[in-house]
Amino acid sequence: MISVIGSGRVGATTAAFLMMNEVDNNIAIVDIIEGLPQGEALDLNHAAAIMGKDVKVAGSNSYEAIKGSDIVIITAGLARKPGMTREELAAKNAQIVFDVADKVKQYAPNSIVIITTNPLDVMVAVLYKRLGFPRNRVIGFSGVLDSRRMAYYASQYLNISPSAITPLVLGQHGENMYPVPELSFVYGKSLKSFLTDEQYNKVVKDTINAGADITNLRKFSSNWGPGAGLTVMAEAIKRDRKIALEASVLLDGEYGIKGYFAEVPIIIGKNGVEKIIEVDLSSEQKEKLMKSIDAIKNNLKQVPEEYIR
């Protein structure tokens, strides 16, 4: 069973994608708002009947509904509003994630947990500390979204499919992320070599600002991209696909970083994080990555100490 905690836009979209792709026959949606998860579940069950999908969706206000889940996806938390940075959400969402972690530990102690609550790299640290699960089973959703956003923007200049690009974005999921077009590739050739300097700078800027651009345009944050990315990750785990993608994971010496969650390439399969891929970086690239890590460290300072001890 796959459980989605939070039935807002991201949670509901994720549940819909999971149903449409038949990633699991049983999906549970949990939310504290009475009637909301039940209504979403009923609507999705109708959609499954129309589409001929053999999937049952259950909605509940009780965390007991996640009991025995293989995968738990946490989307609960306050959403980012126009003009608000992910970092401003830190203290408010830490309490929510802290409380949710206790419920996951109680009802789904053997699950692999993926979280998308912002600011992501901080919230996944809070989750990890409270859960006490091994690091391969606590994953921050972010990198697959940021990297594929960069592939999309670059593809518009190259007039090729985004899937032809292997993108690389490192560090923080936020305004200090580090997109790396020179270490992103199109069939072995650096993405940077296809772009003019102006295009390169625009791809980097658009990747960093993608979430804010969506929020400013429609007055609420993205849900389709996160829902799609979470589904890809869940499917990779359930079907042991062992694919390469990016996620925010706990680094234990990789890239010279220890004790912090950050976006890096990984192999994902039935055990969660099967392997962390270390990309060779130049001294200049390492410096840029460390600036991004410093931003994560500063964000952690915004979280009350009791949540990250």
Torsion of CA 164, 170, 172, 177, to 10 degrees: -70
Collapsed DSSP state (helix, strand, coil) of residue 53: coil
**Residue 170 DSSP symbol:** E
Query: Nearest-CA neighbor of 18 among 63, 73, 60, 64?
Result: 73
Q: Which of 173, 176, 200, 276 is catalytic?
A: 173
Q: 171: number of CA atoms within 13 Å, CB side?
A: 24
Query: Nearest-CA neighbor of 118 among 43, 70, 156, 175?
Result: 175
157 contacts 195 by C-beta, under 8 angstroms: yes
Give the integer Cα–Cα distance in Å for 195 and 303. Answer: 40
Q: Let me know if 46 is a catalytic residue.
A: no
Collapsed DSSP state (helix, strand, coil) of residue 56: strand
Place of tokens 């923080």: 172
Residues in CB range of 240: below 8 A, 6 or more apart: 269, 270
Query: E strands within 106-181?
Result: 112-115, 138-140, 165-166, 169-171, 177-179
Position 6, amino acid? G
Burial of 67 (0-12, 13-18, 19+ CB in 10 A): middle
Number of C-beta neighbours around residue 15 at 10 A: 31
Residues serving a catalytic function are 173
